[in-house]
Amino acid sequence: MKAIVQDAYGPPDVLELKDIDTPVVGDDDVLVRVHAASVNPADWHFMRGQAYIVRLVGFGVGFGPLGPRNRVRGIDVAGRVEAVGKNVTRFRRGDAVFGQGAGSFAEYTCARGSALAPMPANLTFEQAAAVPEAAATALQGLRETGRIEAGQRVLINGASGGVGTFAVQLAKAFGANVTGVCSARNVDLVRSIGADEVVDYTREDFTQRPRRYDLILDLVGNRSLSDCRRVLAPEGTLVLSSGGGGRWFGPVGLIVKALGVSPFVRQRLRPLVVTPSAQNLTVLTDLIESGKVTPVIDRTYLLAETPEAIRYQEEGRARGKVVVTAQVAATAG
């Protein structure tokens, strides 16, 4: 099969389209013929081997000291079941599914049956591929970690990105008053997906506003911990998914600081930890099929163009999600 393979850490140029063996299905696995996958920050963190500390301790999640142990990039997948392991009873060959399977930038990927769910009936494969990692991150950040409640004032920093566009819609679905923070070019987009108020960070610093928020979901990590706490209600919750930690600690730098401060303050300062589950996918499917949540897709690339897709994602300017189809090259017209 064709797959995007990486044998060393580095920029998108280290990714190559190669012929490799089709994954072998384990007893608890599902072999999926990939129709589409989507790009996540994890893909370029793995690609570059960031942060360095993870290379030393991250063998369990696919990192190695000099190169990735899992050679094929990609997490999210939408496609059709090709084969199932002997312990899998939920799916049959031909079923349309979506979820997470390691190495989804390929023609086939192998996923745990517990990490997949039937695809929402009202989505295309490209739309469904945009959902699993980003929407589950938003869902768990707001519901499990943030303990969102109807009527709360919620601020989403990074409201126009892959996770942010889902977070805005989910927060509204949960009955919150939502403020989204984004750049000027994305103000209309964020407002169109349900934000009650939008802050253009090129003109206004949200941490200097007089308003206090019950819940802040920080998806950017570009403000200090003290700045964010300034606009957080006295017993509010700050959920952090990233923050500058340099080459060694990468996106977990701010999170480490928050964990150190949290025991000494009334405000809840929590890291966002995402665990893939079919249950979350079912919750998201219900919200999608009811029309409360719709994936926002910025660009779509062919499989052979995956390095460019990841390069674009890494620039941090994507509006919503970036999707890769399993089609290797454009067909002749």
CATH at 78: 3.90.180.10
Question: Cα–Cα distance between 187 and 173 in angstroms, integer?
Answer: 20
Q: Is residue 286 in some structural domain?
A: no
Confidence band of 275 (pLDDT split at 50, 70, 90): confident
pLDDT digits (tens, 9 = 90+) for 64-110: 666 677 889 999 999 999 999 999 999 999 999 999 988 999 999 99
Considering the domain architecture, whether residues 17 and 63 belong to the same structural domain is answered as yes
Q: What is the DSSP string of 15-70?
A: EEEEE-PPPPP-TTEEEEEEEEEE--HHHHHHHHT-SHHHHHH-GGGT--SSS-SS
Considering the domain architecture, whether residues 118 and 12 belong to the same structural domain is answered as yes
Considering the domain architecture, whether residues 64 and 140 belong to the same structural domain is answered as no
pLDDT digits (tens, 9 = 90+) for 144-175: 999 999 999 999 999 999 999 999 999 999 99
Q: What is the pLDDT of residue 263?
A: 67
In the chain the beta strands, taken as DSSP E runs, fall at 2-6, 15-19, 29-38, 76-84, 96-100, 108-112, 116-118, 153-157, 177-182, 197-200, 213-218, 232-240, 268-271, 297-301, 321-325
* Under 8 Å between Cβ of 234 and 99: no
Q: Which domain holds residue 320?
A: 2-131+295-325
Considering the domain architecture, whether residues 314 and 265 belong to the same structural domain is answered as no
* Under 8 Å between Cβ of 76 and 40: yes
Q: Is residue 191 in some structural domain?
A: yes
Q: What is the pLDDT of residue 329?
A: 66
Question: Residue 98: beta bridge partners?
Answer: 78, 117
The residue ranking higher by pLDDT, 62 or 330, is 330
Considering the domain architecture, whether residues 101 and 213 belong to the same structural domain is answered as no
What phi, psi does 188 have (nearest 5°)?
A: -65, -40
pTM of the predicted protein model: 0.91
Number of folded domains that form the chain = 2
CATH for 179: 3.40.50.720
Considering the domain architecture, whether residues 168 and 72 belong to the same structural domain is answered as no
Considering the domain architecture, whether residues 77 and 182 belong to the same structural domain is answered as no
Considering the domain architecture, whether residues 116 and 191 belong to the same structural domain is answered as no
User: Per the structure block, which two tokens stand in for 67?
Assistant: 């190169």
* Under 8 Å between Cβ of 305 and 146: no
Considering the domain architecture, whether residues 197 and 307 belong to the same structural domain is answered as no
Considering the domain architecture, whether residues 112 and 7 belong to the same structural domain is answered as yes
Considering the domain architecture, whether residues 36 and 68 belong to the same structural domain is answered as yes
Q: Is the pLDDT of residue 214 over 50?
A: yes
